Amino acid sequence: ENAEMQRLSALPNRTKNGQPFELLANCFGPEDIDTAMQSGARGVGLLRSSYMMLPGRILDEQEQYFFYSSCLAAAKGCPVTVRTFDFGADRTMADAYQGLQSSKLGLRGIRNSLRQPRQFETQICALLRAAARGPLRVMFPMVTNVEDWDAAMRVVERCREHLRERGVAFNEDTKFGVMLSVPAACLTAEEFVEHGVDFLVIGTNDLTQYTHAADRELASAEHYYRPASKAMKKLITMVMDAAKVRNVPVTICGLAVGNPANTVQYLQLGLRSFSVSPQNLLGTKKALLEAET
């Protein structure tokens, strides 16, 4: 089995009829990034930044800067896409964010970040600084409309100004994108493209949940939770069509992407960049190598 794994991971990322694809990993920090790179990932498509938090305490800018820098080091020159705090979804960390209410249909992700501008600025400053050390990209979770995007980017601009004033090294050209997990955002994807997103990432776990009004953690709603339903395909197609207008790169991530039956359907919708859990990398690669586009 080990020999088969080595053989697979040495093969170039091309489908049966020669279409290149990109295989990335969903990670939590330097340790599982290391594992993912050894299993053939070409970078991190989703880094869940909330998990670096110590219980009850938000790391300061310097501590976050070190964390992101060690993630880049573990990715060995490959791109790392960091999702800004998703408190509300990553409930284990909710207590780090004192006083914040959270709920699936209420305050979570960027909604919380925009209400906590100081903590959000700390994170963005740390990210902009780390981006001077390697190919780090930043995406905002739970974005619903372009107002969210514009508000987040105003914070980014403010952070750039702070860092210039402080004379601290950072990457002026850091790429920013949106994580699409709200159907309203997919339905208006062209607006994000018009408003200058550098990239888009479809988060199938949450997008499936919100599209079908089926809680991803409730077994009783399982029957309605369908990551490759006709509804999902329509939303994904809208995103792909909008992105094409300005050649905005699109990645798809989430548990469903690591299930070969779904992976191939996403490939057929035009996706060429896939981000999966480290343990699903080789299975996903195998399915894509054998697929026809």
> Considering the complex, what minimum distance in angstroms separates the CB of residue 214 from ligand PEP?
13
- Is 89 near ligand PEP (CB under 6 A)? yes
The single-letter code of the amino acid at 218 is L
- Is 280 near ligand PEP (CB under 6 A)? no
Binds ligand PEP (CB under 6 A): choice among 15, 204, 259, 265: 204
- Is 211 near ligand PEP (CB under 6 A)? no
Distance CA 48, CA 247 (A): 26
Q: Which is nearer to ligand PEP, 213 or 245 (CB)?
A: 213
- Is 254 near ligand PEP (CB under 6 A)? yes
Give the contacts of 258 (CB within 8 A, at least 6 positions apart).
276, 277, 280, 283, 284
Residues 27-86 that bind ligand PEP (CB under 6 A): 46, 48
Q: For ligand PEP, which stretch binds (CB under 6 A), given 36-44, 167-175, 202-210, 243-251?
A: 202-210
- Is 206 near ligand PEP (CB under 6 A)? yes
> Considering the complex, what minimum distance in angstroms separates the CB of residue 11 from ligand PEP?
26
Q: Which is nearer to ligand PEP, 39 or 204 (CB)?
A: 204
Q: Are 37 and 80 in contact (CB under 8 A)?
A: no
Binds ligand PEP (CB under 6 A): choice among 113, 205, 262, 265: 205
- Is 263 near ligand PEP (CB under 6 A)? no
- Is 253 near ligand PEP (CB under 6 A)? yes
Q: For residue 139, what are the β-bridge partners?
A: 83, 177
Q: For ligand PEP, which stretch binds (CB under 6 A), given 10-18, 35-43, 201-209, 229-237?
A: 201-209
Q: Which is nearer to ligand PEP, 203 or 278 (CB)?
A: 203
Which of 44, 21, 67 has its CA nearest to residue 278? 44
* Tokens 């791109």, residue located: 79
Q: For ligand PEP, which stretch binds (CB under 6 A), given 98-106, 197-205, 217-225, 238-246?
A: 197-205
- Is 109 near ligand PEP (CB under 6 A)? no
Residues that bind ligand PEP (CB under 6 A): 26, 46, 48, 89, 181, 203-206, 253-254
